[in-house]
Amino acid sequence: MQGLPEKDDRPVVTKLMICAGQKDPLIPPEARERFLKLMADASADCVYITYAGAGHSFTDKTVAQFNIPNFAYHADTDRRSWAAMRDLFDETLGKV
C-alpha cells in the first residue's frame, strides 16, 4: 500500500480504538488489513470496530449536505461508537 511503511519499529504504547463504517470509501479493506497487521506486529493494544451499514462521517449530522456517496450520518453507529469510546475512557482514565 502506498504511504504505509513495511515496518515501523517504534513501540505503540497507547491503547487504540478505531471506529469505522463498513461503507467508508476512504478505507479500502486492504488498507484496514495492512493497518491491523502493523498494529499486531507492534504488539499494540488496538481495537478496530467496523460498523455495518455506516459510511464515512457517521457522527456528523450535517455531512449529507455535501452529497458525497457513502458520507452520511448514521444514528445507531453514532450512539454505539460513542458508547465504545466512553468504555475506553473509563478503562484508561477511570470512571467519572
pLDDT tens by residue, the chain, 96 residues: 566 667 777 888 889 999 999 999 999 999 999 999 999 988 999 999 999 999 999 999 999 999 999 999 999 999 999 999 999 999 999 886
Dihedral pair phi/psi, residue 3, rounded to 5°: 90, -15
pTM: 0.83
Rg (CA), the chain: 15
Cell representation of residue 49: 470496530
- Compute CA 41 distance to the chain's CA centroid, rounded to the nearest angstrom: 18
**DSSP state, 52?**
T
